[in-house]
Structure 1
Amino acid sequence: MQSPSLSPSSSASSARSAFSFKHLPVNLFASVMGLSGLAMAWRLAHGSLGAPAVIGEAVGALALGVFVLISLGYLTKLVKHPGAVHGEFHHPVAGSFFGTIAISILLLSAIVEPYDAAASHAIWTVGVLATFALSFVAVTRLLRGQIDASHAVPAWIIPCVATLDIPVTGQQMPMAWASEINLMACAVGAVMALVLFAMIVSRLVHRDPLASAMTPSLMILVAPFAVGFLAYTNMVGGIDRFAALLFYFALFMFAVVAPKVFRPSVRFSAAWWAIGFPLAALANAALKYADFRNSSPLWLLALALLGALTLAMAILAVRTVHGALSGKLFTGGPA
């Protein structure tokens, strides 16, 4: 006799029956970050290379729509499963991903700005408040002490270094207080980036390797330097040698972590969206730097990064939609 087995249709039915917003991960907001970064990169490509404007605007609209959908889903989780949200927020690793919500809001302010300046200013202000609040919580938790060093993972960078996204998106804000907020945000983000980067590298060197499911988060190590480049150049109004140093170290870190991240042995899950914004920040930095230097090799590098970013976002989007439709994204298992 053959042992009974589940058919593909019954497996899908089982996954749908296990559907629960309780398992909707907060790190899915990283998808909004990646898509927003992709939209901003295509906008730069339109301005400097004459790429079709519709690409960047369409991706930006998609990012806004995705943010609304995930926000509705996570609010449902908060209402129906407040304990799950509480546990996620206080988790030593997962709690860091609440920073993706604040960063998403900041980036969406830049997406909206060409269409409605007033709305952009309001969204950015909300993002600033949320970012500083989460950064304060994150640093306060660190200073309590007695933290297991094995919890020092790349995700720790998100809530503190998120402040660097304030000057990235707030360069044109007309409010009288915006310039000082940008300076403060840059100061907090820059110093915390150095502190956390050292802590995380020390953990990666002296402790066991990251679990396979957390491998994509290694790409976050690129973010402080790529985002730092964008923040710094916005603050000083141009590109100098220090900005170039930030760009090239971001590029170096990408070369180091990419072979570790892009391996077929790492199964797909929502955690893969962690690669989106760091790669988007690097592509944006490369486009700005290539435009400044006007060098053919740098333009080729920028286009390669833009192509890789676009392909990665497309694959992640398809896999995520498949996971959502099959129900696996909401069952706590790999999608």
Structure 2
Amino acid sequence: MSKDPGDPIGFRISLNFFAIPLGISGLGGAWTTASAALGAPGWINGLLFWISGVCWLVLSVLYVGERLRSRGAFRADREHPTDGAQAAFIPVVGLLLLAHFEQYMARSAAQAVCWVLVFSLAVVAGQLFAHWLTGQTSFPQLHPGYFLPLVAGPFVAGITLSVVGAQTAGRAALGAGMFFWVIIGGVVTARLITAGPLPTPAIPALSVLLAPPATGGIAIFVAYHGRTGTLQTAFLGIFMTMLMVQIFLLPQYRRIGFGLQFWTFTFPVAASANYGMRWCQSVRFPGWQELSWLALAIATAVVLAIAVATVRSLVPVKRDRTPRPATELEPEQKTD
């Protein structure tokens, strides 16, 4: 939360808070794959999606309630030079939740909700892209977080559309994500190479480079019923390249002080574990189950560690108010 002088409580919900339910739902998706491929307990993914859903609903209500009190607040958030892309978190999390909870809904109802969320994501993505095209964002302000609304967003939409039975629309969303991946990816990569280092708070956004190949690969698996082919193999090659890049970025990540921005890591890590397990299940090489469990364990450990660190950072530190004995007074405090 950030300070808000006009709020009597003193805090306001920012868009980057939605990275919390995004990461938890991403981990829920990984445990769903593990349940099907490895026989992992099914209640774990259900619990994760319920936690994510409650968090998403509470944050959405608080966020909308706050912004309705200020004219132009939604637009100001969306056009923020560094955080504006996170406006897409809200419909993206909704799509991830629907991919799980659609099993408890009538097919027609699930499809109706899905189209509302897809339309909401399209509106946000369209507004963001139109704002960027007008030249109101400077080159140094770009970062990999821009991949979310126009790349990972359509890929997630493709997953959910396929899950609710709209396979053709899901494949179309996959194509939209691939198009914008080429367009946005080239510009963001050029910025990272030529425009100097990212500000420290934006460094975790480098992990988002894993999200497009991971979510796109999952979308292909779902849309084509688990089959592998040339396109899926190409996505795997890109994913492995980005994974290698992340390994070499670990020293950069370790130098960052903990903060809310660490939740940026959670969704790419969870989606990567999900994608890796699907490939392992598809190929079934010797040791594929052990490797799948390892990927799931790493993703779970990352999310749990960040969640625990977040809770600890919110707990106020109690100062010791016990009077110090005279023998412990500083020399200048002692009296003759």
Tell me if TM exceeds 0.5.
Answer: yes
Q: Give the letter for the 1:272 counterpart.
A: F
- Please state whether the residue corresponding to 1:295 is helix, strand or coil: coil
Q: Contact 1:21–1:74 (CA<8 Å) still a contact in 2?
A: no
Equivalent residue for 1:109? Answer: 98
TM-score by length of 2: 0.84
2: distance between equivalents of 1:170 and 1:195? 24
Deviating more after overlay: 82-91 vs 51-60: 82-91
CA shift in 2, pair 1:45/1:83, >3 Å: same
1:213-292 superposed matches below 5 A: 213-237=201-225, 238-261=227-250, 263-292=253-282
Shift of 1:147: 3.6
1: distance between equivalents of 2:96 and 2:58? 16
Equivalent residue for 2:174? Answer: 186
What are the Cα deviations for residues 193-217 of structure 1, in whole angstroms up to 9, with x where unaligned? 1111111111111011111111111
Does 2:172 correspond to 1:172? no
* Length, aligned pairs only: 307
2: distance between equivalents of 1:19 and 1:86? 23
1:307-322 superposed matches below 5 A: 307-322=297-312
2: distance between equivalents of 1:322 and 1:83? 35
Segments of 5+ residues of structure 1 without an aligned counterpart are 1-16, 328-335
Q: Give the letter for the 2:188 counterpart.
A: I
Of the three residues 200, 203, 210, the one matched with 2:191 is 203
Deviating more after overlay: 202-211 vs 70-79: 70-79
CA shift in 2, pair 1:101/1:261, >3 Å: farther
Equivalent residue for 2:125? Answer: 135
Work out which of the two has the higher radius of gyration on C-alpha atoms and give 1 or 2: 2
- Please state whether the residue corresponding to 1:114 is helix, strand or coil: helix
2: distance between equivalents of 1:275 and 1:18? 32
Shift of 1:248: 3.4
- RMSD (CA atoms): 2.3
1: distance between equivalents of 2:208 and 2:199? 15
2: distance between equivalents of 1:181 and 1:326? 49
Q: Contact 2:67–2:74 (CA<8 Å) still a contact in 1?
A: yes
1: distance between equivalents of 2:27 and 2:106? 21
- Please state whether the residue corresponding to 1:113 is helix, strand or coil: helix
Shift of 1:259: 4.2
Q: Contact 2:204–2:265 (CA<8 Å) still a contact in 1?
A: yes
Shift of 1:82: 5.0
Equivalent residue for 1:9? Answer: none
Equivalent residue for 2:80? Answer: 91
Does 2:53 correspond to 1:64? yes
Q: Contact 1:106–1:124 (CA<8 Å) still a contact in 2?
A: yes
2: distance between equivalents of 1:187 and 1:244? 16
2: distance between equivalents of 1:117 and 1:316? 36
Q: Contact 2:78–2:128 (CA<8 Å) still a contact in 1?
A: no
Equivalent residue for 2:11? Answer: 21
- Please state whether the residue corresponding to 2:258 is helix, strand or coil: coil
Segments of 5+ residues of structure 2 without an aligned counterpart are 1-6, 318-336
CA shift in 2, pair 1:127/1:19, >3 Å: same
1: distance between equivalents of 2:16 and 2:112? 24
Q: Contact 2:150–2:180 (CA<8 Å) still a contact in 1?
A: yes
- Please state whether the residue corresponding to 2:162 is helix, strand or coil: coil
1: distance between equivalents of 2:289 and 2:233? 15
1:28-43 superposed matches below 5 A: 28-43=17-32
Q: Contact 1:154–1:200 (CA<8 Å) still a contact in 2?
A: yes
Higher relative CO (Cα under 8 Å, sequence separation at least 6) belongs to: 1
